[in-house]
Amino acid sequence: MKVNLHPKEGLLFNAFMLFFIIHSVQVGVGLAGLPRVVYLAAKHDAWISVFLAGMITSVVLVFMVQMLKQYDSADLYGIHVDTFGKWVGHSLSFLYMIYMSFTFFIILMNYVEIVQVWIFPTLPTWQLSLVLILLVIYAVYGGIRVVVGVAFLSVVGTIWLAIVIFVPIQYADFTHLFPIMNANAKQLFMGAQSTTLSMLGFEVIMFVYPFVKEKQKAMFFVQVGNLLTTIIFTGATLISIVFFASNSLEKTIWPVLSMFKIVRLPNLERFEFIAVSFWMLIILPNMCFYLWAASKGFSRILRRKQKWGVWIIAIAAFAASFFINSRYEMNTITDLVAKAGFYFAFCYPVLLSSIVLIKKWFKRRESKHAETS
């Protein structure tokens, strides 16, 4: 397997699209319940934990991009082989494929559950799952540029929802925020860790990087994308804290969606129906990029056409949807994927980046020594 990819010119996209990619894949189903899960860990300082999580993500992105810059045009699959050799590298890549496939499935099932709870209680799971999976397959079949286009449309088409989130602030009680910094360091970091499922997605930079034209600008745009995500997540959490009473926030599964209930428009009393419907546009880039990146392994590792991977993962996800019959099962699987995501998206890339940077430094040192001797 080649370490560096050299895509055709028609498959490349401008670096500024990384802003839309990073932001769109981070914002997904996790945002709907983010304030509650963080509040359970850090109480009224939860908004500080969310901001801290955004800063940690920014640092991890620095490691990722610096690692990618050590190569001409490599993705994670190629870096694994170059760093660890064929067999170990392929094994690590295969584990990453499994992780991304499970994340794709979790995003799908969590959104289906939201639709069933808020709009169509009697809707069979398989029907909505089938529609979403086919829609994602259609996008991924179009190639990386189509998937990037989905990310662009997602951000442009749903950014107005971020403004609507601030509507409940007129009913806020800001005394809920005091005393500030009442949580200790352990609680703040536990709260930051609980944002993992919501922050996930930025790791796709390790797969789309070879398709970026101006690679020297990649760092700036991924950081700006993550910054916008951090601002929205922190704002949503802060507003939830001042809007809900503490007991209410702990018991509200999807506080962000619940706050949409107070929004009233002429001839439309249930605005949350609109929000849940538009949420599909929010989760589509998540599903598209995870399916695209996971299926890319079939061509990179197994030397099979990528469409084989698309169909295998999609069919497996659709089949697995029949086995989720309760919220307890959904929560259990979601928690497991979130814990795995903490290691696959936050811890492992930092470790791998450190190994690559050290290895490249020794190689440059050896080459300079050979030239002078």
Q: 136: closest CA among 146, 123, 124? A: 146
Give the model's pLDDT for residue 130: 96
**219-253 confidence digits (pLDDT tens):** 999 999 999 999 999 999 999 999 998 789 999 99
Residue range 84-95: mean pLDDT, rounded: 94
CA 72: distance to chain centroid?
25
**307-321 confidence digits (pLDDT tens):** 999 999 999 999 999
User: Backbone phi, then psi, for 321, in 5-degree steps?
Assistant: -65, -25
**322-344 confidence digits (pLDDT tens):** 998 888 889 999 999 999 999 99
Length of the chain measured in residues: 373
Residue range 17-42: mean pLDDT, rounded: 94
CB 59 within 8 A of CB 346: no
pLDDT tier at 58 (50, 70, 90 boundaries)? very high
Whether the predicted pLDDT of 134 surpasses 70: yes
* Mean model confidence pLDDT for the chain: 92
Four-CA torsion 135, 136, 138, 139, nearest 10 degrees? 120
Q: Which CATH class is domain 9-372?
A: mainly alpha
Q: 314: closest CA among 101, 95, 126, 25? A: 101
pLDDT tier at 373 (50, 70, 90 boundaries)? low
3-state SS assignment for residue 327? helix
